[in-house]
Each structure stands twice: as structure tokens, then as C-alpha cells.
Amino acid sequence: MKTVLKVVIVALAIMGLPRFIPDISVDSFWYALLAALVLGLVNLLIKPLVKLVTLPINLLTLGLFGLVINAGLLWLVAGFVPGFDIGTFLAAFLGGLAVAAVNWIVSKF
């Protein structure tokens, strides 16, 4: 139940992104929910491998490269989910930052 609630909260966060970041568009809540599910799978399956491969640069940047990884993965998700589009990498970076913040807040409860 907690996982379902977390996915719904992330979907709501994704729905709110276009209000603050003009280069992001979400057609409906269902596409945002699908994007949240795909993002969860990407974070579960692909992110650990990407973090391992980019470990040296992540150490050099004191972990800040993780934000770039989040942006890239969010952009990847936007490429696979219809109805969820990200126009620029800056928009993906800001969106990734916002989704990461929401995930962090949700994980505290």
C-alpha cells in the first residue's frame, strides 16, 4: 500500500511539473501515473548500474553528478511514455530535481 501511495504522489508531482517548468508537458494524470511507474522501474533496474559506471565522476563531483543522472533517467522515461514530453535537458534537470525532492520527502514518512 505504501508503494502505491508513493507512486501516486510522484505522479501528482509529475503532473505539477509543467506549471513551473515550461518545457515539460503532461497530457493527463494517467500518463503521469504511467511515467511514475516507469520511473520507479528505471530507478530500480537501471539507476544502480548507471551509478556504478559513473562512480569516478560522481566521487569527483562529491555526488552532484547524481543530479545529472536523475535528469538523464527522467528524460529517458519521457522518451518512452507517450503524453509525457520534456523539451530540453535543463527542463529534465529541474524536473529530476523536483521529483527527487518529492521522493526524499515521501521516504521520510
Q: Per-residue pLDDT tens, the chain, 109 aa: give them.
A: 788 999 999 999 999 999 999 999 999 999 999 999 999 999 999 999 999 999 999 999 998 999 999 999 999 999 999 999 999 999 999 999 999 999 999 888 8
Q: Sign of dihedral through CA atoms 15, 85, 33, 51?
A: negative
The dihedral over CA atoms of 21, 87, 39, 49, expressed in degrees to the nearest 10, equals: -120
Beta partners for residue 20, in sequence order: none
**pTM exceeds 0.75 for this model:** yes
Given a contact cutoff of 8 angstroms between Cβ atoms, the answer to whether 74 and 39 are in contact is yes
By the 10 Å C-beta count (0-12 exposed, 13-18 middle, 19+ buried), 109 is classed as exposed
